[in-house]
Amino acid sequence: MTMSTLHTITTHKKYRELLAEWAADNTEDSDQDKSGSLIPNATVLVAFRTRPPIDGEVELFDAPLDDEETDDEEERVNDANHDHGPRAKKQPPAPQPVSKIPAQRPPEEFMCGITARSRRMVVHVPNMTWKGAGLLHQSYPADVCFGPDATNEEVYEQTVKTPGLIDLAVQGGVACVLAYGQTSAGKTYSMMGLELAISQDLFSLLPVDDTGKTQFEVHVTFLELLGNKPRDLMRADEAGKNIEIREADTGNVHPVLQSTQVDSAKELEDVIVRCLGHRRTAQTSRNAKSSRSHAILTILLKNKTPGGAVSEIILVDLAGSERHADSKKHSAARFQETRDNNKSLLALKDCVRAHVSGAALVPFRTSKLTLLLKPIFDRKASRPTRTVVIAHVSPHIQDAEHSANTLRYVSQFKAIR
Ligand SMILES: Nc1ncnc2c1ncn2[C@@H]1O[C@H](COP(=O)(O)OP(=O)(O)OP(=O)(O)O)[C@@H](O)[C@H]1O
């Protein structure tokens, strides 16, 4: 047995003991946050989700992590603005926190870095001190949390049904769900589930007249923002062609997209599945089919009665937040995309923060992503809005620092209220 294997076994044994001790002292029954339901009147609701480990995934941690990476969310996003491209000059390695040290254990061992409680998530962050291996248990509050066993149906129930997002749109408002998180944390999995569940329910929730007909027309657009390049996912024939985003004098933002009218749950579902098939993916160190882009599905409800409004349900699967280490093998073009994605995520954070705090000005023109989301940020618009941000985190202890940053980033939106 090598010294390194021995060290691994000892450290991981210690982590397991510490996790067991923490779990014994923090049972679900002692969770103060268990009672109560979602805050019905909040403009922004915060949800956290983690997923189960995937077969063979732990073996990925055997690859050494980059010694230059930064794990602070803002630092990481700003870091992406500097030249770290393939030709960038190497800096001397910085001292590494323990979670960045290359994996030192048998690959088949999964070690959980997340505990989901009803209304908070706890991240168990490895922390090496002079006393040896330790764990910091960092707790972040949310309106609702989903552990690895939660189904997409449960997520739909709590993040769409309970906050009344479809009802809000039917009444003329703007409802939005944003899936945020580290690459491979489960954003696309959640959003596909929500998109298909909304397709199933939407038509039965549209009000009908005495003849059984609804006064609403349902139209769909689907846009992909790859780095800074918007594309129409509805048009496979236009693949690769960038579309224009216009902001009219009236203040309305008009991406030049094909809008498709749908008249049934099946039609809506078919359009969504077809468009998702046009989304670009690439293999990353963490996800064989990683979505490189932000994907914005907009379901427009057009009320055909005289003076009837157009309301919207906007479903956004954001590009994965990537650390520098995750992108170090990217080509120059992919690196630029990652940089643009990270910049737009930072702009999004600023906008949501300003929006939640009731600031007079929300800087939505800072990026194409936030400009496209103007309907939820526009203070001058009279339509009521509600946004649910679902932060996704990896279940692995090796990702604990990234997970803590993700939850810190998103839980702020709850704290500002
Ligand atoms: N709750 C879950 N239960 C079971 N499997 C899941 C769950 N969430 C995600 N997965 C699986 O994990 C893998 C990564 O998920 P997904 O592609 O949704 O991540 P992502 O956050 O969208 O990644 P990226 O940002 O790289 O596109 C997929 O194989 C997916 O099927």
Dist. CA 398 → ligand 1 center (Å):
17
165/162 Cα distance (integer angstroms):
8
200-217 CB burial, b ≥16 within 10 A, e <16: eebbeebeeeeeeebebb
Closest C-alpha to 297, from 272, 318, 320: 272
Q: At what angle do helices 332-356 and 400-415 cross, to 10 degrees?
A: 30
Residue nearest to atom 3 of ligand 1 (CA): 51
Judge if pTM exceeds 0.90: no
pLDDT tens for the chain, 417 residues long, are 555 555 666 788 888 999 999 999 988 655 555 555 556 578 899 999 999 998 878 777 754 433 333 444 444 433 433 433 333 333 434 444 444 444 444 445 788 999 999 899 999 999 988 888 899 999 999 999 999 999 999 999 999 999 999 999 999 999 999 999 998 999 999 999 999 999 999 999 999 888 888 999 999 999 999 888 899 999 877 666 788 887 776 667 777 888 999 999 999 999 999 999 888 776 666 666 777 789 999 999 999 988 888 999 999 999 987 766 666 666 777 778 888 888 999 999 999 999 888 888 899 999 999 999 999 987 777 789 999 999 999 999 999 999 999 999 999 888 766
Residue nearest to atom 9 of ligand 1 (CA): 186
Half-sphere exposure of 45 (CA within 13 A, CB side): 26
Q: CB 248: neighbour CB atoms within 10 A?
A: 8
Q: Which domains does the chain have, with CATH numbers?
A: 36-87+123-415 (3.40.850.10)
182 is in an annotated binding site: yes
Dist. CA 322 → ligand 1 center (Å):
15
Dist. CA 88 → ligand 1 center (Å):
31
14/280 Cα distance (integer angstroms):
42
ipTM above 0.85, yes or no: yes
335/230 Cα distance (integer angstroms):
17
Is 107 in contact with 62 (CB distance < 8 Å)?
yes
**What residues are in contact with ligand 1 under a 6 Å CB criterion?**
51-52, 54, 181, 183-189, 287, 290-291, 320, 392
Written as six digits, the tokens of 388 are: 């649910």
Would the CA dihedral through 35, 41, 46, 49 be positive or negative? positive
